[in-house]
Amino acid sequence: MDKDIILRTIKSTWNVSLTVQLVPLTISIIIARLVHDNLPRISKPTALFYISFISAETYFAVTADAISELNLLNSELGQLTISTAVLHEILGWLNNALSPLVRGEFAAKFIKSEISFLAFLIFTFFVLRPAIQWIIRTTPEREPVKKCYIVAILIGALIMAGVADIIGSNFMIGAAMMGLVIPAGPPLGSALVEKSEVVIRNFFLPFLFIRIGLLTDIFSIKDWKAFVSLGMILVAAYLGKVWGSLLSLIWFKTSTRNALLFGCFLNIKGIIELLVFLRWIIYKQIDVQTFSTLVLFNLVLTAIVTPLISIFYKPRKRLNRISKIDNCIRTLQSTLPNSELRILCGIHHEDNVNGIINLLRASNPTEMNPICAYAVHLIHLIGRALPVIVPYNTQKRRLVANSTDRIMRAMTSYSKGSGAAVKV
């Protein structure tokens, strides 16, 4: 998660984020109060509140991963959804911090829990964060991070999760706090992802899904009255997000179609919700039928909204409509002979530079017919959930890879050697 977008999100999209959070939460809680008598398996009213809250929540990790798979990270609705998910994540952390108060645990127990959580935050940001920064400072430029540091951080994430669970908070908060103090990208963020991603995705994650599948028993659903009542609570939250999207996007003056698609984006469910359900059934807060119902509804919802987004959201169509306007066409046929030709040069590896330069030379640039080449080194950023554009000439040298430096030097040298014919 890019921590810099959190403040920008709160300033620019707080009205949308709160609307699409509060509307489904309110509707879901009202439905839960009405059908509570039909749910004898869920005896505690606070359990229904948490089910409504989880259904109305949008998690950053789930949303960013899904939008990345759909290749919509840079689309308008994709960016808005990610910004909304960031604020929802903050509200979720606040809810976890105040969970003892929601459960009715007042006086000494609540005060003890909150003081412990405050001490946990102080330790994270004033002890752990300087230690992480010291590791980054002591790592030589363009050298890999020592394995002992990587192992210590991965074990530290488990310890942080355990401590958060002991003090009465959610174990995911501990791991999230550990992640927040680690800068995204190289050298440390990328190294952590490279070392752990293969094991997590190919070993731990499949076993987690197997366990969730074994606990999900469709044949345990025998109380159909309770099944329908719980389904009404979940569907109310899902539809509430769509209604909240229609209300919130009045500020953006967009079409009803985009508002409905925005609601579909917010309804994408994933591993975070499954982890919460798994935690509930392990602590026997819900039974097998309730767990199976929650898993099935999340699975069916995601199976519906994801294809809808792929089919109906085509951000490129807007560019096609713009290109039909005569004064917006940018083609070689319509360009004036003595005007500047602009070329975007996407470079993946150093081997591409020679081909790009040969292509520019073959385009016959002259001082009367110059070329402006925009050189972009395209790098797969490991350890970041979102893309980032980094201007080459404004960054510190330790943030620039060796290959980037060589590519840009070669392009600059060619530009200087061509006189005024080519500008990079």
Find the helix or strand (DSSP H, E) in which 374 lies. strand 371-377
- 353 and 347 in contact (C-beta within 8 Å)? yes
Q: Do residues 310 and 402 share a domain?
A: no
In a domain, 324, yes or no: no
CATH number of the domain bearing residue 21: 1.20.1530.10
Ramachandran sector of residue 330 (left: φ over 0; alpha: ψ -120 to 50; beta: rest): beta
In a domain, 307, yes or no: yes
In a domain, 322, yes or no: no
- Cα–chain-centroid distance for residue 138? 30
In a domain, 258, yes or no: yes
- 39 and 48 in contact (C-beta within 8 Å)? yes
Residue 332: burial class (beta carbons within 10 Å; 0-12, 13-18, 19+): exposed
Stated pTM of the model: 0.76
Q: Do residues 282 and 365 share a domain?
A: no
- 271 and 88 in contact (C-beta within 8 Å)? no
Q: Do residues 287 and 341 share a domain?
A: no
Q: Which domain holds residue 343?
A: 335-423
Domain end position, chosen among 317, 347, 366: 317
**One digit per residue, pLDDT tens: the chain, 424 residues?**
566 666 666 666 777 888 888 899 999 999 988 888 888 777 676 788 888 888 888 888 898 889 888 888 878 888 888 888 888 888 877 776 666 655 555 566 667 777 888 899 899 989 999 999 999 888 887 678 888 999 999 999 999 999 988 887 778 888 888 888 888 777 888 888 888 888 888 999 999 999 999 999 999 888 888 899 999 999 999 999 999 888 877 666 777 888 888 889 999 999 989 998 998 898 888 889 999 999 999 999 999 999 999 888 887 666 566 555 545 556 677 777 778 888 999 999 889 999 999 999 998 888 888 999 999 999 887 767 667 787 887 555 544 557 888 898 899 999 998 888 999 9
What is the secondary structure of 17-65 as a DSSP string? Answer: HHHHHHHHHHHHHHHHHHSGGG-TT---HHHHHHHHHHHH---HHHHHH
What is the signed CA dihedral for 132, 135, 138, 144, rounded to 10 degrees? -130
Q: Do residues 182 and 51 share a domain?
A: yes
Q: Do residues 343 and 311 share a domain?
A: no
Q: Do residues 311 and 358 share a domain?
A: no
Residue 198 neighbours by CB distance under 10 Å: 10
Pairwise CA distance, residues 371 & 377, whole Å: 19
In a domain, 22, yes or no: yes
In a domain, 224, yes or no: yes
Pairwise CA distance, residues 154 & 178, whole Å: 9
Q: Do residues 24 and 155 share a domain?
A: yes
Indicate the number of domains in the chain.
2
In a domain, 91, yes or no: yes
Q: Do residues 126 and 160 share a domain?
A: yes
Pairwise CA distance, residues 417 & 414, whole Å: 5
Q: Do residues 91 and 135 share a domain?
A: yes
Which stretches within 35-139 are classed as H helix?
Answer: 45-56, 60-69, 76-97, 99-102, 107-123, 129-138
Q: Do residues 282 and 415 share a domain?
A: no
In a domain, 206, yes or no: yes
φ, ψ at 204 (rounded to 5°): -65, -45
Q: Do residues 373 and 273 share a domain?
A: no
pLDDT for 322: 56
Ramachandran sector of residue 284 (left: φ over 0; alpha: ψ -120 to 50; beta: rest): left
Cα–Cα distances (Å) from 150 to 135, 141, 194, 385, 413, in that order, read 10, 17, 10, 20, 40
Residue 208 neighbours by CB distance under 10 Å: 15
pLDDT for 398: 47
Give the CA angle between residues 329, 332, 333 to the nearest 5°.
80
Find the helix or strand (DSSP H, E) in which 412 lies. helix 402-417
Q: Do residues 373 and 312 share a domain?
A: no
